[in-house]
Amino acid sequence: MATKSITSPVPDAWYPTLAVSMLAIGLLVTASFFVYEATSSRRNRSLAKELTTGAMASFFLGFGSLFLLLASGVYV
C-alpha cells in the first residue's frame, strides 16, 4: 500500500485571507464584548451572553492566529 502524504483541508492560498478576516471578526466581537460590559449595569448582565460572546471571540481569534502563523510560514 502506497503512503499518502498529509495535506491541508484548506488551500494554502486562502491562509492570508482567512487570517485577516477571522482576526477582524474576532476583534469586532471582542470590542462588542467590552462595550457590553461597560454599558450594562450589574443587574442587567447576562452570563449566557457573556459566555457566548467570549467563546465566539476566542474561536475567531484563535483560528485567526493559527492562519496568520500558517500564512507567515510557521507551520504548527
Structural domain for 53, as ranges: 19-72
Establish if 43 belongs to a structural domain. yes
Q: State the average pLDDT for the chain.
A: 94
Residue 31: CA atoms inside 13 Å, Cβ hemisphere, count? 6
- What's the pTM? 0.86
Measured between its terminal Cα atoms, the distance across the chain in Å is: 28
Within 10 A of 6 (CB to CB), how many other CB atoms are there? 5
- Cα(39)–Cα(32) distance, rounded to whole angstroms? 10
Residue 39: per-residue pLDDT? 94
Specify if 1 maps to a domain. no
Does residue 14 lie in a domain region? Answer: no
Residue 67 lies in a domain: yes
Residue with more model confidence, 76 or 52:
52
| Per-residue pLDDT tens digits for 47-56 | 999 999 999 9
Number of domains composing the chain: 1
The answer to whether residue 4 sits within a structural domain is: no
Domain contains 2:
no
User: What is d(CA 66, CA 50) in angstroms, rounded to the nearest whole number?
Assistant: 24
